[in-house]
Amino acid sequence: MLRIQITTGASQPIYRQIVDQVRHAVAAGKVRVGDAMPSVRALATDLVVNPNTIAKAYSALVRDGVIESQQGRGYFIAEPRLIYTHKERKRRLGEVMNPFLAEAISLGFEPQQIIDEVEKRLRKTFSSPEAAPKPKDSAS
């Protein structure tokens, strides 16, 4: 079952923490296509946040094709698919990479250390390689 945890008062907004954790779980193959997400109200109660905050996180996941909503039934893990063009994906990658590298560098990390940490984290996430299905690249 998908376990989500948040820390209030962090620099990252709550809805963003939720989005990232769900994405990670999906990418790591911890959930399967069709699995039900916790209901908006249930997760809100569980995390002690407002249902609207959960709804915002789920909306973001829907727009990126990670989950799908079924009116009156709930949210479910979606079939993976490539939504964005190659160019757009590169653009978005750069947009999140730059602040990350700037922060990493200002923390005093060497370039090689940063690469090592990224590799280490990625290996941990993809510990069971076959679990995470890749979207077909049929649309380039």
Residues 58-87 that bind DNA (CB under 7 A): 58-59, 69-75
By CB under 7 A, residue 98 contacts DNA: no
Sites for a second copy among residues 65-84 (CB under 8 A): 65-66, 68-72, 76, 80-84
Give residue 83's region: left, alpha or beta (phi > 0; psi -120 to 50): alpha
The answer to whether the CB of 21 falls within 8 A of the CB of 67 is no
Phi/psi of residue 117, nearest 5 degrees = -65, -40
By CB under 7 A, residue 129 contacts DNA: no
Applying CB under 7 A, which of residues 22, 40, 61, 66 lies at the interface with DNA? 40
Q: What is the DSSP string of 93-121?
A: HHHHHHHHHHHHHHTT--HHHHHHHHHHH
Would you say 2 or 55 has its CB closer to DNA? Answer: 55
By CB under 7 A, residue 15 contacts DNA: yes
Q: Please give the residue ranges that form the binding site for DNA (CB under 7 A).
A: 13-16, 37, 39-42, 49-53, 55-56, 58-59, 69-75
